[in-house]
Structure 1
Amino acid sequence: MTKNLPSGRVENIDCYAMSQIEYWFSLKLRVDSPGKLWQAAALRCLAQPGICEDDVAEMIGPADDPSIADCLMVLALPEHVPGCTRLDVALGNEGADDGADLVAMTASR
């Protein structure tokens, strides 16, 4: 890749030199159907090798009392983003007065 400098010179830029830049994005959701959310998360879990139905309940809670935060983490986060290192993840519930529903992971993958 090349960059045109104000002086009119053209400078070659190593594409890999930019690889240490950190980015963040935000996603805000309202859960309208916890049951549908749980079903989708359960299917994603069951698609993983070695995961059985008992494991699903342990990971995201039972269908009749799903762990919304865990279901969202399963669905909203890819296991790996090629060429990237996940540095931080935070998931919070705006309705929680004491912040007790905050789920955070740091440098998980």
Structure 2
Amino acid sequence: MDPRESHGLKNDPDRRVWGMGPQPEFRVTVTLALSDAERLWNAARDRLLAAPGGCDEMVEETIGPVEAPQLADCIALLCAPSLVPGCSVDDFWVDAMPGLPSQDALAA
């Protein structure tokens, strides 16, 4: 791309500058509907236990116990973006959507 064209990629005056022009950014969004909190928690637990130093204490500290799971933390753990060559993750978050069943109702 011609460096003079890269200025057209700038959509916010506060964006960082990379090289000779603005750094292009891309947003990938995934919306999940939770149908089985226990299955989600077990998958997150397995991921934590497979990590170096993984233990039951780490599980409870990170995602809570199965009786009271931290659902957003489970999703974040399982959906965190892996490295993409030539890119860096600028931001990553998990939000519960208002108006939907509460975490407590889904965990029960």
TM category (shorter chain) comes to: 0.5 to 0.7
TM-score by length of 2: 0.65
Larger CA deviation: 83-92 vs 26-35: 83-92
Q: Distance in 2 between matches of 1:87 and 1:31?
A: 26
2:70 paired with 1:67: yes
1:46 corresponds to: 49
Give the structure with the higher percent strand: 1
2:92 paired with 1:89: yes
- Rg larger for: 1
Q: Distance in 2 between matches of 1:96 and 1:50?
A: 38
Q: Which has the higher contact order (CA 8 A, sep 6+)?
A: 2
TM-score by length of 1: 0.65
The alignment of Structure 1 onto Structure 2 pairs a total of residues equal to 82
Q: How big is the alpha-carbon RMSD for the aligned residues of Structure 1 and Structure 2?
A: 2.5
Task: Specify every segment of 5 or more residues in structure 1 that has no aligned partner in the other structure, as ranges.
Answer: 1-16, 98-109
Sequence identity (%): 37
